Chain A
Amino acid sequence: MPLALGSWAPDLMTKWFVYGISIGGLKLKASDPAQFHRGWPGVGFTHSLIFGVVLALILWRVCGSKIWAISFLIGQWAHALTDTGDTVGTMLFFPWTLHIHLNAWAYAGQTGRLRDAGAYFSGLGAVWDAVWIVYGLFSWRVLTRSYFERHIYTADRSWTVMNRVVSVGALLVLYRAAFFYGTSRWIAWTLWAHAIHHYPYDLSWGGPHWVDAAHSPPLTWPQVAGIVGIVTLGLAIALLEHGRRRRARNERVVFPCECGCREVVKLTKAEYQTVGGAWLEGHEPGDDRAPSGA
């Protein structure tokens, strides 16, 4: 659930203003939809990595759940990274306002909801979605009841809380709903675009070219060097932290023997947790050789 929430977070409050809505004859729409949606000034920061980190930290603080925070972050980052695939891209490293864009498919939000859907489901964006649907189908075991009960339900306390109100059957439907919705929606829009409205497919890079796409300026070499530098720095920090954690896990710490003999035992934290305490050999509870007091 938090992963799905995170994946919607960048567009959740803003997409309506990109496409525009009418309320009582009053038309509300951004004057420059692409700038509003992905730019600065605008709400483009919602598609940045830092926005995901900030929201995940708030979620962690408010809900007290690390798994919710991390899952939310993965979902939000997946959305922000995926949107770099179009011709406008995202300000991934906001407050650096550079748009990182791969130009694989056309950004056509400014053309309105239906034409945007027609364009998106005619280009490589829809192919990229299809890759994830196929991957989901290959991983069908994660959608089974036994997987849900063994791994999902036990990992996240919120399922137990909801189970006080509704049955596990309803929770299982809730768990499966995101994949059901994503897949059905993809098929429905594809049929709508190609079987009903006959939008032409254009799977070339940057397509479909029949739509008037919005574009960000091409990246310069110094900008590419800046991106490579940030990514390298991020990877280096992650690797150093990983190494530090591994060393800490394997480091032997001095514990007082818990039998009360005042001698010490050297164990790693993992060994301590596995055994459930620190005892010298022969000093374990119930051992005949243990000194008195054990």
Chain B
Amino acid sequence: MPSRRQLAVALGYVAAAAVYIAIGVSYTDFLLSYFVGLGYLLLVAWLVPAGVRRLF
């Protein structure tokens, strides 16, 4: 079974996916490129958390 920390990470990705899907359904061009998906994920799963950690 996954640990609590692993579940928390997975939940973060699920939340990121929910936003990505919501944007993609209303604007399908967002779904076409892997690099757009990668850029989005790097932003929400690495850059923003890293920025928040640096601030607080």
Q: Identify the A interface with B (CB < 8 A).
A: 4, 8, 114, 117, 140, 144-145, 167, 169-170, 173-174, 176-178, 180-181, 183-185, 187-189, 191-192, 195-196
Contact = CB atoms under 8 A, between A and B. Distances in A.
Given A173-B46, A178-B34, 10 more contacts: A167-B50, A169-B46, A170-B42, A177-B42, A183-B17, A184-B24, A185-B31, A189-B31, A192-B24, A192-B25
Nearest to B32: A113
B2 interface: yes
Interface of B: 2, 6, 9-10, 13, 16-17, 20-21, 24-25, 28, 31, 34, 37-38, 41-42, 45-46, 50
Nearest to B24: A188
A248 to B, nearest CB: 41
A117 to B, nearest CB: 8
A173 B31 contact: no
A206 to B, nearest CB: 26
A188 B42 contact: no
B21 A188 contact: yes
B38 A140 contact: no
Given A180-B41, A184-B24, A196-B25, A169 B17 contact: no
A192 B28 contact: yes
B46 A191 contact: no
Nearest to A170: B46
A174 B17 contact: no
A145 B45 CA distance: 14
